[in-house]
Amino acid sequence: MPRRKRHRLVTKEPHVSVYKPAGIPTRELEEILITIGEFEALRLADFEGLSQRDASTAMEISQPTFNRVLSSARHKVASGLVQGYVLRIEGGEYRLSDGTGILECLDCGASVDMSSGNKSTCQKCGSIRLRWLRWEKGRRPGEK
Ligand SMILES: [Zn+2]
């Protein structure tokens, strides 16, 4: 495999993964969004066993930022398991390190700006059911 320029945040291409409790219709379940960045932090620290210093270097973010992302990821996974939520791991254009990126609320349709600080709930209705609006080179998918 040719040597490639390191991605800014993650080592794998974005994809969608959903984990849900068995035997319950998805529509009856709450959903928690775990960003690709959070997933990567969890993978590096808790699966690969990297130190936070090495993991933050790998993701090219500061150690305090990595620590925050990892804490958020752990909290979301724990919340999901304890409360029986759907865990959606989803990314597209994700730039946690500079705070940009847009999420859409599945309940009220509001856009949630990732730079707002509160990245896991809708500012309008308080819902945690957020979905990435995928941006590709500044455009919404489907737009020409
Ligand atoms: Zn909302």
**What does the pLDDT look like over 12-53, one tens digit per residue?**
444 567 888 888 887 888 888 888 788 889 989 999 999 999
Question: Is 144 part of a structural domain of the chain?
Answer: no
Domains in the chain, number: 1
The 3-state DSSP composition of the chain as helix, strand, coil percent (nearest 5) reads 30, 20, 50
Question: Is 61 part of a structural domain of the chain?
Answer: yes
Of 130 and 8, the structure prediction assigns the larger pLDDT to: 130
DSSP of 64-82: HHHHHHHHHHHHHHHHHHH
Residues of the domain holding 58: 28-132
119 CA → ligand 1 middle, Å: 12
Question: Is 23 part of a structural domain of the chain?
Answer: no
For 1-5, 46-50, 77-81, 112-116, which range has the lowest pLDDT when averaged over its residues? 1-5
Q: Are strands 102-105 and 130-132 parallel, antiparallel or unpaired?
A: antiparallel
Query: Which pLDDT score, from 0 to 100, does residue 71 have?
Result: 95
121 CA → ligand 1 middle, Å: 8
4 CA → ligand 1 middle, Å: 39
Question: Is 64 part of a structural domain of the chain?
Answer: yes
CB 91 within 8 A of CB 37: yes
42 CA → ligand 1 middle, Å: 27
SS3 95: strand
38 CA → ligand 1 middle, Å: 22
78 CA → ligand 1 middle, Å: 23
49 CA → ligand 1 middle, Å: 36
Backbone angles phi, psi at 89, to 5 degrees: -105, 115
Question: Is 82 part of a structural domain of the chain?
Answer: yes
90 CA → ligand 1 middle, Å: 18
Question: Is 98 part of a structural domain of the chain?
Answer: yes
Question: Is 19 part of a structural domain of the chain?
Answer: no
Mean pLDDT of the chain: 72
Question: Is 139 part of a structural domain of the chain?
Answer: no
